Amino acid sequence: MKRIYSLLFSLLLSALTFAQTASFTEGYYQSSKEYKANDLRPSGELLSATTTDLVFKYGYNKVYYVSNKIWGFRDKEGKDYKSIDGKFYEIINAKKLFIFRLIEKNETSYRVSDGASGYPLEMTPDNVLILLSDYASLTNEYKALSGKDKKAKALEFIARYNESQPSGDLKANK
């Protein structure tokens, strides 16, 4: 009988451990330093993220955070977002050069920054060239493209740059 109880207890403990690792904690990051350290501030259940507020349900209360006063947040699916100009961009690549994506009204726009604490620039050919500048062969290959190809292949070149670099931040490529 002791063996059965021990076995059941072990199975229950395993199931609880799996459930904890399978779910993501929602919360926010006050700064890029917290993001790099994966120091998420748990805040309850995320209700909404708008241009002005980040709203969590904590117990029976709603807790509001001003969007432009925080660095970013994590949703229940484990996706991280950064606050940029009052909008939340999803972090789709978190290596040396970060890539942020915003899908709004069926349009997708991208920003790119040098690390988590870098200023997120619009993904234009000129900005991509600036960020690739310490990798000469990749920069020259990108410069040789036509204007239309530079726009179309900007994400590809950022990804290639990141693959060649040791990761400067804790977060892995998403």
Whether residue 18 lies inside any domain: the answer is: no
Count of structural domains within the chain: 2
Please give the model's pTM, rounded to 2 decimal places.
Answer: 0.79
Q: Say how far apart CA 74 and CA 70 lie, in whole Å.
A: 12
Q: Are residues 128 and 112 in the same domain?
A: yes
Q: Are residues 158 and 90 in the same domain?
A: yes
Whether residue 17 lies inside any domain: the answer is: no
Q: Are residues 113 and 68 in the same domain?
A: no
78-122: pLDDT as tens digits: 999 999 988 999 999 999 999 999 999 999 999 999 999 999 999
Residue 12 reports pLDDT greater than 60: no
For the chain, the maximum distance between any two Cα atoms, rounded to a whole number of angstroms, is 75
Q: Are residues 117 and 69 in the same domain?
A: no
Average pLDDT over residues 121-142: 95
Q: Are residues 70 and 95 in the same domain?
A: no
Q: Are residues 45 and 93 in the same domain?
A: no
Full residue range of the structural domain in which residue 127 is found = 85-169
174 or 114: which carries more pLDDT confidence? 114
Whether residue 9 lies inside any domain: the answer is: no
